[in-house]
């Protein structure tokens, strides 16, 4: 009997390990492929542990996932040390009631002339991560470019639903634009940037502030694999890469719902595109996502939706910037859009870049056929991510 129990335990452990080690990593992803596998396993583990904890009555899935991911990143930061912060003055502050972290290179602080500035908005599906997790990235940007970087600690969903994160990012950006001289920054040379959900927020802030009068204009926006629409979850990139644990289709839909209403009971409805009506699928908004659709122009107020809480918000550009009307793209600053081949959000960025170009905006679209979602944070691990970082910094240096 003891031998049988031991054998069953061995089989159970073997099956468990096989499940976690059988992480899908497309052949096209650049070396080191093992690292991509580990990243996928980390997110899969965090998601499953978070769901298990919620099931047994401990916390909620988003809060649990946040705690697990932050703990794992915290360990990585301790192992990394703080040498990347050398040469920077780093302080936590509050801009219009919003917490931020300000990175000032010593050279910029001593400069007799004002330097450029950048508002950076971190990713994490509006639910996860914080300025601590992005500390190495934002410090690197500030140090390499010699500019002042403001990293925004916006309120997270689902504790704070839309438009809380958007409002925080607008408030912090406006403060920086209006008080740039306090940081020896030239208010005419301030840009905004963000990755994933942060790219969503950066694009939404840019659209909103372009319409404000009496406010210095943002010099540029740099969007890194941004999430820009919640209308169509069956785009080619969602269909082809939705199984990759660096960012699955299931996770992305969950993030949108946590941000929208904190009601995951409609997740399958969203995943199958049944959260929209036939009228909407034939409207100009569908055309913003799929240019092959023959559309009929309709007014937002006349569109009928299924009975889903807050679902009409998916057409609000503050929530989904790709849903902005053509006229809204007039007057936008020069734009940088980075996309990765192995990313469910690839097509969001591609479509946004095309619409900006059509509107006459100056656009730089930087695509990585060996990249995957979130890979820029690994710029010191992947050669392709290192190249992407250099291209990103090169763009900012030229356009700030």
Taking the C-alpha atoms of residue 392 and residue 32, their distance in angstroms, rounded to an integer, is 22
Phi, psi for 112 (deg, rounded to 5): -80, -15
Q: Decide: 365 and 337 in contact? Cβ < 8 Å.
A: yes
Which entry of 251, 283, 373, 384 is annotated as an active-site residue? 373
Tokens of 140: 């690197």
pLDDT tens series, the chain, 400 aa: 444 444 333 433 344 444 555 556 666 666 555 556 666 677 778 788 878 888 888 889 999 889 988 998 898 899 999 999 999 999 999 999 999 999 999 988 888 899 999 999 999 999 999 999 999 999 999 999 999 999 999 999 999 999 999 999 999 999 999 999 999 999 999 999 999 999 999 999 999 999 898 899 999 999 999 999 999 999 999 999 988 878 999 999 999 999 999 999 999 999 999 999 999 999 999 899 987 776 778 888 888 889 999 999 999 999 999 999 989 998 899 999 999 999 999 999 999 999 999 999 999 999 999 888 999 998 988 888 899 999 999 999 999 9
Which residue range forms the structural domain that includes residue 388? 84-230+320-399
Q: Which of 140, 167, 193, 196 is catalytic?
A: 196
Residue 113, domain member (yes or no): yes
3-state secondary structure the chain: CHHHHHHHHHHHHHHHHHHHHCCCCCCCCCCCHHHHHHHHHHHHHHHHHHHHHHHCCCCCHHHHHHHHHHHHHHHHHHHHCCHHHCCEEEEEEEECCEEEEEEEEHHHHHCCCCEEEEEEECCCCCCCCCCCCCHHHHHHHHHHHCCEEEEEECCCCCCCCCCHHHHHHHHHHHHHHHCHHHHCEEEEEEEEEEECHHHHHHHHHHHHHHCCCCCCCCCEEEEECCCCCCCCCCCHHHHHHCCCCCCCHHHHHHHHHHHHCCCHHHHHHHHCCCCCCHHHHCEHHHHHHCCCCCCECCCHHHCCCCCCCCHHHHHCCCCCHHHCCHHHHCCCCEEEEEEEEECCCHHHHHHHHHHHHHCCCCEEEEEEEEEECCHHHHCCCCHHHHHHHHHHHHHHHHHC
- The reply to whether 78 falls in a domain is no
Residue 39 domain-assigned (yes or no): no
Q: Has residue 157 been placed in a domain?
A: yes
pLDDT score recorded for residue 295: 75
Domain-located, residue 369:
yes
- Out of 168, 195, 232, 343, the active site residue is 343
Minimal CA–CA distance to 166: which of 199, 132, 212? 199
Q: What is the pLDDT of residue 28?
A: 62
Total domains in the fold of the chain: 1
pLDDT of residue 296: 78
Model pLDDT, residue 234: 95
In a domain, 57, yes or no: no
CATH number at residue 339: 3.40.50.1820
Q: How many CB atoms lie within 10 A of CB 16?
A: 10
Distances (CA, A) of 209 to 76, 195, 204, 217: 36, 19, 9, 8
Query: For residue 243, what pLDDT is reported?
Result: 84
Instruction: Give the tokens for residue 84.
Output: 């990347």
160 phi and psi, to 5 degrees? -130, 105
pLDDT of residue 92: 98
d(C-alpha 291, C-alpha 297), whole Å: 14
| Position 52 in a domain | no
Report if residue 94 sits inside a domain. yes
Contact assessment for residue 220 and residue 334, using Cβ atoms and an 8 Å cutoff: yes
Task: Return all residues near 387 (Cβ < 8 A) that are at least 6 apart.
Answer: 368
pTM of the model: 0.92
Tokens of 205: 């802030």
Is residue 343 part of the annotated active site? The answer reads: yes
Is 196 part of the annotated catalytic residue set? Answer: yes
* CB-based contact 127:156 (threshold 8 Å): yes
């Amino acid at each position: 009997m003891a031998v049988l129990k031991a054998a069953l335990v061995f089989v159970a452990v073997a099956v468990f390990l096989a499940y976690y080690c059988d992480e899908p990593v497309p052949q096209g992803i650049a070396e080191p492929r093992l690292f991509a596998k580990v990243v996928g396993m980390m997110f899969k583990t965090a998601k499953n542990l978070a769901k298990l904890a919620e099931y047994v009555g401990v916390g909620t899935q988003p809060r649990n996932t946040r705690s697990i991911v932050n703990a794992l990143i915290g360990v990585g930061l301790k192992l990394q040390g703080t040498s990347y912060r050398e040469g920077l003055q780093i302080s936590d502050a509050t801009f219009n009631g919003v917490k931020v972290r300000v990175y000032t290179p010593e050279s910029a602080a001593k400069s007799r002339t004002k330097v450029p500035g950048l508002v950076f908005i971190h990713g994490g599906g509006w639910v996860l991560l914080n300025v601590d997790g992005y500390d190495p990235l934002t410090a690197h940007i500030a140090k390499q470019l010699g500019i002042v970087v403001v990293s925004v600690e916006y309120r997270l969903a689902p504790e704070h639903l839309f438009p809380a994160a958007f409002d925080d990012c607008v408030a912090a950006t406006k403060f920086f634009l209006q008080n740039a001289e306090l940081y020896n920054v030239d208010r005419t040379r301030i840009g905004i940037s963000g990755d994933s959900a942060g790219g969503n927020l950066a694009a939404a802030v840019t659209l909103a502030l372009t319409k404000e009068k009496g406010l210095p204009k943002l010099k540029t926006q740099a969007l890194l694999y941004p999430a820009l629409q919640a209308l169509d979850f069956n785009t080619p990139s969602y269909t082809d890469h939705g199984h990759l644990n660096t960012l699955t289709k299931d996770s992305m839909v969950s993030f949108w719902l946590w941000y929208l209403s904190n009601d995951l009971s409609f997740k399958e409805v969203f995943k199958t595109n049944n959260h929209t009506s036939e009228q909407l699928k034939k409207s100009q908004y569908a055309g913003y996502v799929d240019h092959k659709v023959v559309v009929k122009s309709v007014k937002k107020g006349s569109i009928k939706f299924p009975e889903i809480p807050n679902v009409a918000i998916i057409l609000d550009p503050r929530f989904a910037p790709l849903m902005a009307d053509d006229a809204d793209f007039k007057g936008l600053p020069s734009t940088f859009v980075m996309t990765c081949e192995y990313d469910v959000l690839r097509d969001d960025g591609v479509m946004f870049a095309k619409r900006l170009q059509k509107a006459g905006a100056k656009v730089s679209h930087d695509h990585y056929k060996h990249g995957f979602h979130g890979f820029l944070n690994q710029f010191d691990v992947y050669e392709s991510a290192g190249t992407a970082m250099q291209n990103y910094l090169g763009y900012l240096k030229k356009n700030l």
